[in-house]
Structures are given as C-alpha cells and as structure tokens.
Structure 1
Amino acid sequence: MPPRLQTLRLRCLFALGLSLLAPLPALAAQEAATGSAGTVQSAASFDATALDAWVEEVRERFEVPGIAVGVVKDGQVVFEGGWGVRELGRPEKVDAQTLFAIASNTKAFTAASLAMLVDEKKLSWDDRVTDHLPWFRMSDPYVTADMRIRDLLTHRSGLGLGAGDLLFWPGSDYSTTEVVQRLARVPLKTGFRERYAYDNILYATATLVIEQVSGQSYADFLQQRFFDPLGMSGTRFNVDALRPGDPAATGHAKADFTTLRPTFPLTWHNAAGAGGIYSSVHDMGRWMRAQLAGGSFTDGQGREHALFTPARQKEMWSLVSPIPIAEPAVPELAPSKPDFLGYGLGWMTSSYRGERLVWHTGGWPGMVSRVTLVPGRNLGVVVLTNQESGGAFNALTLQILDAFLQPAEKNDWIAAYAAAAEKSRAKAEEAWAKRVAARDRRSKPSLPDSAWTGTWRDAWYGDVVIEQENSRLRMRFPRSPLLTGTLEHWQHDTFLVKWDDRTLNGDAFVTFTLDADGEPREARMEAASDLTDFSFDFQDLVLKPVE
C-alpha cells in the first residue's frame, strides 16, 4: 500500500527443457568484505562512511528506530547493511538479513507473476478478468465487462484513492475472495481508464487470477518462481509465514501523532498480492539485480536463467497511467521534480537528474520502504525502515543516487525532506485548529445516546455496531477487530470515534442524519486528521440502520 503522509504507495525466457512448475537453481552467492554497518564490495565507488553519517542523521531527524539499506551496481552488491534496532527497548540490531514488511513493493512481484503467465501463454494482458474469474463484478456493468488483466495493475479503474481498503486495512477476517466479491458495491469516482487513483483491492483480484491460471496458491507461486530461484531464502510470503527465529523488525508509529512506540501487528492474508511480502535488503538486492538484468540471473553453477522475457519487462516498466506532477512541497525539493511521472504495471516510472527511474514505495503500519532502479546506470537502491516516515526513505534514496550520479549541484536531501515533513505537520495542525475553533461545544445531539445504538450496514463493507458500554457509546467493526473505539460527542449530531489503539492514527468523525420522522436514517464517516492514512477510506461508507 502507499505509505502515509500522502506518499505514493509502491520489478527472458526459461531455459529449454526446464519444468515451468519446478523451482529454478538458486542465485550464486556473493563474496563480500564486512564493514562497520554492513557489507561493502566496491569501496572505490561507494563511500560507506558517508552513508553511515546520512543514515544516522536520518534516524535522528525522523525518529526511526531501525533502517536497512542495500545498493547494487553493475550486477554486484555494493552495500548491504543496517542501523539501529528492530524494536525500541530491545537489543536486537538491524542488519542486512532483518526482515521488514515491504508492503506495496509486493506489487512488482504480482505484476511479474502475471508476466510469467503471459510468457507461458496461459493468459494475455488483454484477457477480460471475467475470462478467468467469471463471477468478478465492479459496480458498473460496462467496467465489469471490459476490465482487462492489464487494468488490474494500473490504478485507472475509476475507483477512488484507496477504495475498499477497509476490507483489509487495518486487518479483517474476510477472505481474499470475499474482499474481491465486495468490489461489486464499492463506488466508482471517475470514468473507466480516465485518471490515476492508487488502489490495492484490484491487486487482490490479480492474486486470485494468478491462483486460478497457475493452479497454485499465490504463496507457492512466489516461493517457486522467485524466492527459491533468486536465493531469497529469508523472504516470506506474508507475516503469517514468518518462522520462529526469523529476524523480523517491529513497526513503530507515533501514537496520537506524538509518542513513538511499537504499533499493532497486521496480516494481509486477504490482499497479499497488494502488499504482503516480508523481505530483507540482502534478498531485495537479488531481486533488484535480476530486474536490472532484464529478468535474468546466474545460478550457482554459472548458468544463465530468466524469470520473464525482455518484452514483458518492457511492458511492466512502460508508463500506462500518467500522474499529474505537483509542485514540490518546499523549495528545497525543487531539484527532485520529475520531467514525467506515471504508473506502469506494478512500478512507478519518472525522471531524476536526466535519468529514468523505475521505482515503488511501500507503506505498512509502522514500516515504510522504497525500491529504486536506475536502468541507465545499472543501479538499484532499497531502503527499509521500521517507522512511518516517508521523508526518511526518500531522503536516503536521493542522497545515495547523487553519490553515483555526481550532479554539479549538491543538495541536502535530508534537510529538504525534514522541512517538507515539518510543513505537512504544521498544515495538519492548522487544519485541526480550525476544526476546533468552528466546533459548537454548547450544541447537543438531537437524540439520546440509545437512539444511535444498534447495527449499521454499509453495502460494500458490511456491518458496524454501536452499543452502550458503561455509559459510553462504543463503535466496533466486527470484521476488523482493531476498529473498536469510543464515540465522543463533537457537535450537533456529529461524534468523534477514538480508536482504542492509539497508533492507528485513524480517528474519524461520525455524522448521523435523521429522516422526516426524526429517526436515525444514515451515518457517514470521514478521517479527522489530514495525516490519517488514505487506506482508512471511511468516506466511502454509507451506513444505514438495520431493523
């Protein structure tokens, strides 16, 4: 999923005679010298001391407990290592093998999975989704009929930003099939293929297509087609697949946007293709090398193999959905403004200092990340973190890119992104202050608390329950246990629901309307803070009382 604070959520032929269902030989191991924070292979072209200083400055400015960085250049691992701790208050250190949720960087694996099936002529990008999932439905019959496999990956379906994410964020007991079936009632916001709007739910649909066409579970497909062949031995399909002893990091968030602490556990068992994978910079280095090599890799015996054809990679890296280019948030970020920006199939593509970038970011409760490829320089950078700071991974990525690109103009990207984060925080505080100032504290609800209790139903999400508990109004989403909180009167018939887990940072206003007889007719919700993750798509809920 895209990370928080409005960052965008963000990879040939098989050898003759090789079984398409059998795992390919593992990628040859790399020999490397050990450095202070990690491993360095090409010290002549990469200053690990400078990187150490950058990371420590980022950790301090953005309050990030642990960061891991991997850099590959010309087919070799230049650097892989870590700083800080896996969890605050515990001694375990972050290193190159530490596992983080890579979140929406999973989308590139999902796109590559479909690309493999296209190479094998088991499907076409232009197949209708209903050719493989006959029961698939969108809320518009025309979109249902013309939705192609390619459309699942390009964020231009007509769905709004993060539409349907509440079905799996912040965790629910719906199955993947149930999530996708509920798409039939998720409202569209724009015309089909009209404009870009990031979504996750269609990648859940892509997961089901992969399983239907391949005859394998998505987990088995990833393991046999990517993790085993590339030697990504530490990588796991999702958090449920973590094994005892796996060196996994813990996510951290600022409770009430103020106090940093470990956040809630989450599993995307029902949208794994959108953002489930856990990996390390060591393993992601192997993924980046294969991507930069056009989908090919060398096994332990020095033999060349391929994951997918160059034609498929060209399709995945080609811009399909243009994205409007906004002005930088602060003047210090002006040099990072791209000449073009858009989404392909599982990847973003843009420019930076005259070079084409292929990249993606990932956002998970308590963890955000970025993978960046510079094909023209055969360069790849991955930054994994266990705090919700997009500024941290962006600043480090651009500092590292500049170390290789050697621009005439030097920029302090750490200071620039810190300024942008401060501006975003100040803007959100100003917006909240305006809400508080406009609040009519003397107003009272139209009806007693008991009138709002009962079951409320939304067409696409399902049921939400409001009940009285020890003189308090409580709201809970039965299918999403973390969405349980207390309703506090705000003004008139609007309440503020404050979730019990304060690291959610997803408090929301709930506004009730009455019918002509003065009975509750409808309830609508909206996020209370501008800093709330867009995956809390409360605004799409239309809750009706259930008799």
Structure 2
Amino acid sequence: MSQRFLSLRLAGCCALLVLAGSAGAQAPATKPAALPVSTHDIVQPMLPAQLQDFGAYVDSARKTFDVPGIAVAIVKDGKVVMEQGFGLREIGKSEPVDAHTLFAIASNTKAFTAASLQQLAEQDKLKMDDRVIDHLPWFRMSDPYVTHEMRIRDLLAHRSGLSLGAGDLLYWPPTSYTTKEVVERLRNVPIKNGFRSGYAYDNILFAVATLVIEQASGQSYADYVREHIFKPVGMDESLIDKTYLKPGMDVAIGHAKANFKDLEPVPPMAWLNDPGAGGIYASVHDLAKWMNVQLAGGVLPTKGADGKPVRLFSEDSQQQMWSMLTPITIGKPPIPELVPLVPHFYGYGESWFLSDYRGQRLVWHTGGWPGMVSRVTLVPELHLGVVVLTNQESGAAFNAVTYRVLDAYLNPDQKTAAPLTDWVAVYGKAVKQSEAKADDSLAKHEAARDKNSKPSLPLAQYAGIYRDPWYGDVIISHENGKLRLRFSKTAQLIGTMTPWQHDTFTVHWDDRALNADAFVNFSMDVDGHVREIRMQPISPLTDFSFDFQDLRLTPVKSAAEKE
C-alpha cells in the first residue's frame, strides 16, 4: 500500500485505520522541528463557515505530526470547492506544496485498477466472475482449490486467505523481480486463512490484476490507465510511477523518521513490479476530477458528439465497486475520544473501503508509500469528496484533516458555528499512546533477554546462503569480524547482525529510514548445524509489508561450502 497502523505504507488501510491512524506513521518521538506556517489562509465563500480557519487547522496538523507538506482538495455537488497546498515539498528547501504538486498516492491506485477491470468487463473482454486461470492459465496459488476458484473480483477484495501483507517482500522495498515473476512466486506464498472467510489486506493479488488488465487489453498497465482513465477524466498531471518524473517537476519529496525519531527525506521509489497496487503519482487538482467522476456515477464532465453525457464506466460497474464483498471486524478504539468515529458497518468492496460516519455512507481508501501517505473520502449522498495528500508517514495527520472537513459538512445545522472536534488533539493523544505501547514492547524484549548468553557457534559458521520458497535467497556473510545480511533481490535490505541472546541476532539495516530492524533466530539440528532461520520485526511500529515472519529460510550453502 496502506497499517503501519498496524502500519500504513502499502496497504494504507486496515480495520483500525478509521479509528486511529498509522502506528508506523506516528507523531514524532522527539519534539518536531519547526515547520513553516502557510502564508495563505483560506477565505472562500463556497466553504462552510466552520472551515474558514481551515488553513490554520491544517498547519496545526502539520506541526503536531511533523509533516512538511499537505495538499487538500474538496469537491461538492460537482464543483471544486477548494484545492490548495500547505507547507513545503521538502524540508530545508523553499518550494511550496500547491494544488498541482505530485504525490505518490500508493494504494489509492487500487481504485484505478478496479475501474480498469470494470471497463474491460463492459467491453466484453472479461467478466468479473471469470476464473483468473481463464486469462492467466499459468496462475497458481499454494492451494489447488483456491487456484481453481479465484475469480477476477476476488483479486480486489482482500479475501483470498492470504495473511496481512503476504508476499510484500517480493516488491517491498523495490526488488529486481518482474511483475510476472512476482505472480509466479505466489504459488509458494502460504495461505493461512480460509478462502473468502475473512479480511486480510494484501497487495500481491493486485499484481495479478495488473497482468489480467494487460492480457485482456493488449496494452501495458501504464498505457491502459493513461488512455482509458487519465485522458478522459482530464488528469493531465498524473503519472503511473516515479520513472516518469522529470527534473524540475512540481513533486513532493517523501519524509520518514529514521530510527522512528529524526525526520529526513526519502528517495523516490518506482514500483515497477506491482503498479496496479500502488504506482500512481497525482495532484489534488487531478484527484478532484477523479472524485467528481466517482460522485457522478461514472459520468464524465464532457459530452459526446451527440450532446449526450459520456461515461467512464456504467452505473452498474460503480455499484459493483461500491458493494461490500468482505466484511471487516470493527475494533475497539484505543482512546475514548475516538468512539465517535466507530462505524456501524465496515467492509471492503472492489478496491474501496465502505463504512459510515454521522449517518452518512463513506466510500474511501488510503495509501502509504515511503515518506508519503494519503486518503480519498467520498460521501456519495452528499456529493462530497475530500482528498488529503501528505509527504510524511502520518496517518494521524490525514485523518485529522479529513474528519474536520466531514464534520463541517455533516453538521446538521450549518447555520450555526457549532464547536468542531479538534481531531488533531485527539489523534495526537492516540499516537502518544501507540508509541508508549511500542516502547513497552521493546522493554519486554530487553527484560527477557539473557545478556550473558553467547552464540553457540563461531560467527563465521552462521554465514551462508539461505533460501525461502517464495522470496528466494538471503545471504549472510562474515566480514571484518561481523555478520552482514543481504536480501538477494532487494538492494535496500542490507544490514549488520548483532548477537542478541543465544542463537538470536538483531539485524540493523543500513538504511535507517526503513524502520524495519528485525530479530533473526537460528534453529539448530541435533548436530549443531543451522536447520532454519526465522525472522520477525523488532518494533510493532514496523510496516506490515516487511513480512519477515512469513519467511522460512533453510541453508543452501554453508560458509565452508561457499569456499
């Protein structure tokens, strides 16, 4: 995605998202650096009276959650009420965020993938209930029954039986696998739940959806979306992925907390091997157009040569996309102040979350990316939409801004300036509580640690090549008296291993902005040789897409055999 909420980056969304924001996109553990206040507050006659201080409110969210830049667009009754940027594209530089600044929208891309498939269904190039193997005969899941019964619609609904974020390490952080290689490796990704029995957010099945779109259309995913969605909607600024960015373009730079503390820029990432899950870069100016088309039931703003409305997709297609396929368990909010956000219903359709707030149905999604998170929210019956794009990993920030807008429009008496909930303060409290729990988790590990223990083998004997059935090879080398761990297909996953206790080590990645340090546990056979390696993230704030816990690494070659 996108649950670094549980965590947010790719998935950007889980059962707790609507309640508490991203745990991995939290407020800073240290006092945030001073951020510039926007010099352009909002005074627009189309805005409700309760949003006349909106600029100051957004700046409050930026400062509280240490977000350099935020862009917001609001649409109502087919019109753009506002589209505006606040703050900076990158810390330490002067370029401001504006309505045309491009952000990685991550899992908000998934709605474009669903719309593409529905368009192809309307063209009779596929049916949403076709088996995936009807279009990709080589497609395999690890269970033959699931392979046979997986339908195209299932690819969009997070009900496959895969666990949360299963297989994400095949492309997160970026790997050298192709999209087809990612999908081919799906046959070895374990299925841990019943098929269509419950909700677990995934990204890997959107790689399958990407290939289905390409097979059915005869075009690349990028070309299809550009021609059949961006062009008719008028999204002239939007790009499919980072490789289309050019020097001098109006683009936000993502920011992350290195070691969960110090804010720093994150290099842009291209997601070439699963673009249908989260590849798009867009501005709020373009996303305002996208929201208006959604709220119009698929009707485009232009008319055909006959003077009749032109559709991006049919009403029936939209009904399918906005119909619940997978119910989601409604969790208990972490603090009482979040109780008003607890929905009466909650589920997932085709690439959209579905819930309610203040008696109104919400259709929404979020996105999480290295250094950027976002949220798109539609209130269909009010013809209202709001998008919030940020260049820091703070789901709390985009939620606080989103709910301020919703409160202003959903207040039953718009003639009075009734007090609005300060969601910045509420989410700030929830974030602090989440951070405290993360600190407690580490303290428990420290308390259980036997600091006097030593590894059972000389360090050099842990070195070797280890293989997981779905990821591939992980290499441990003995260099200058230390162990170094490298994921063979993932350039960013290189780090130094340090003994923790007995045959458990910690790996600290060279890239400190990953915030994904992990325990590495070696299991021995009866003769004292390494039988298996298991891994797990150290911090509960680590993005779920670092699905180290699903790896089953076994020796391919020992250090001695390598020599």
Q: TM-score, normalised by structure 1?
A: 0.93
Alpha-carbon contact 1:201-1:271 (below 8 Å) kept: yes
- The aligned counterpart of 1:368 is 373
Per-residue Cα deviation, 1:439-485 (whole angstroms, up to 9, x for no partner): 11110011011111111100000000000122111001121000000
Partner residue in 2 for 1:224: 227
1:9 deviates by 2.4
Alignment of 1:109-128 (within 5 A): 109-128=112-131
Aligned to 1:14: none
1:5 is aligned to 2:8: no
**Separation in 2 of the partners of 1:426 and 1:44?**
38
Tell me whether 1:58 sits opposite 2:61 in the alignment: yes
Q: Give the Cα–Cα distance (whole angstroms) in 2 for the partners of residues 322 and 507 of structure 1.
A: 33
Q: How far off its partner does 1:39 sit? A: 8.2
Residue 369 of structure 1 aligns to a residue in which SS?
strand
Using a 3 Å threshold, how does the CA distance of structure 1 residues 118 and 37 change in structure 2: closer, same or farther? Answer: farther
**CA shift for structure 1 position 45:** 3.4
What per-residue deviation string (whole Å, max 9, x for no partner) do you get for residues 185-243 of structure 1? Answer: 00011011111000000001000000000000000001001111111111000111212
Note if contact 1:483-1:499 (Cα within 8 Å) is conserved in structure 2: yes
Q: Distance in 2 between matches of 1:336 and 1:117?
A: 36
Q: Which amino acid aligns with 1:536?
A: F
Which residue, out of 459, 462, 465, partners 2:472?
Answer: 462
Q: CA 1:238–1:39 in 2, change beyond 3 Å: closer, same or farther?
A: farther
Q: Which amino acid aligns with 2:171?
A: F
Aligned 1:137-176 pairs, distance under 5 A? 137-176=140-179
Please give the secondary structure, in 2, of the residue aligned with 1:145: helix
Deviation, 1:50, is 1.5
Letter of the 1:308 partner, please give it: F
> How many equivalent pairs are there?
523
Distance 1:277 1:38 in 2: 29
Answering whether residue 204 of structure 2 is matched by residue 201 of structure 1, we say: yes
Shift of the alpha carbon at 1:44? 5.2
SS in 2 for 1:485: strand
Matched, 1:90 2:100: no
1:546 maps onto 2:556 in alignment: yes
Alpha carbons 1:154, 1:346 under 8 Å: kept: yes
Look up the equivalent residue of 1:435 and give its one-letter code: H
Stretches of structure 2 that go unaligned for 5 or more consecutive residues are 14-37, 413-417, 558-563
Alignment of 1:457-536 (within 5 A): 457-536=467-546
Q: Say which of 231, 249, 260 aligns to 1:257.
A: 260
Deviation at 1:5, TM superposition (A): 2.6
In the TM superposition, residue 173 of structure 1 has moved relative to its aligned partner by 0.8
Q: Report SS of the residue matched to 2:508.
A: strand
Task: Answer with 1-10 or 75-84: which moved more.
Answer: 1-10
What is the alpha-carbon root mean square deviation over aligned residues?
A: 1.6
- Distance in 2 between the 1:42 and 1:128 partners? 51
1:179 aligned onto 2:182: yes
Aligned-partner Cα distance in 2 for 1:543–1:410: 52
Unaligned runs of 5+ residues in structure 1 are 11-34
Which SS does the other structure have where 1:193 is aligned?
coil
Deviates more, 1:272-281 or 1:404-413: 404-413
Whether 2:411 is the aligned partner of 1:406: answer yes
Structure 2 length-normalised TM: 0.91
- SS of the residue corresponding to residue 325 of structure 1 reads coil
Which amino acid in structure 2 is aligned with residue 332 of structure 1?
E
Match of 1:133 among 131, 136, 151: 136
Counterpart contact for 1:128–1:149, Cα < 8 Å: yes
2:230 maps to 1:233:
no
Q: Which whole-Å CA distance do the structure 2 matches of 1:266 and 1:307 have between them?
A: 29
* SS of equivalent to 1:284: helix
Of 442, 445, 456, the residue aligned with 2:455 is 445
Alignment check: 8 A CA contact 2:472 2:488 kept: no
Alignment partner of 2:400 out of 388, 395, 402: 395
Q: Distance in 1 between matches of 2:226 and 2:363?
A: 24
Query: Match of 1:480, SS?
Result: coil
Deviation at 1:304, TM superposition (A): 2.4
The structural deviation recorded for 1:518 is 0.9
Retained in 1: the 8 A contact 2:51–2:405?
no
